[in-house]
Copies of this chain bind each other. A is one copy, B any other.
Amino acid sequence: MNELKNLTYGFVGLGLMGGSLAKAIREYVLAVTDTHGKIYACDADMAPLELALKEKIIDKGFERGDADDMLLQCDFVYICLYPHATLKFLQEHRNSFKRGAVVTDISGVKTFIMENIDTVLADNIDFIPGHPMAGSEREGYIHSSGTIFNGRNYILMPRESNTSEHLEMMKNLVTAIGFSRIIETDYKTHDHKIAFTSQLCHVIASALVDSAEDDRITAFGGGSYEDLTRIAMINAPLWAELFLANKKELLEHICAFEEKLDRIKSEISADDNVGLRETLERVRTKRINMACIDTVIKD
Contact of A287 (CB < 8 Å), options: B193, B200, B209, B263: B209
> Interface residue tally of chain A, by bracket?
35 or more
Is B223 a contact of A134 with CB atoms below 8 Å? yes
Is A207 a contact of B134 with CB atoms below 8 Å? no
Residues from chain B with Cβ under 8 Å of A167 in the complex = none
Contact of A236 (CB < 8 Å), options: B229, B268, B277, B290: B277
- Mark interface residues in A267-296 (1 if CB within 8 Å of B CB, else 0): 011010100110111111011111101100
Is A207 a contact of B261 with CB atoms below 8 Å? yes
Q: Which of A200-221 contact B (CB under 8 A)?
A: 200-213, 215-221
Closest B residue to A193 by CB, please name it: B220
- Is A256 part of the contact surface with B, judged by Cβ < 8 Å? yes
15 contacts between A and B (CB under 8 A): A153-B222, A196-B212, A196-B217, A196-B220, A196-B225, A201-B224, A206-B280, A210-B264, A211-B259, A218-B293, A229-B287, A233-B284, A236-B277, A244-B271, A254-B261
Q: How far is the CB of A102 from chain B (nearest CB, A)?
A: 23
Residues from chain B with Cβ under 8 Å of A283 in the complex = 206, 209-210, 232, 234
Residues from chain B with Cβ under 8 Å of A294 in the complex = 218
Is B250 a contact of A268 with CB atoms below 8 Å? yes
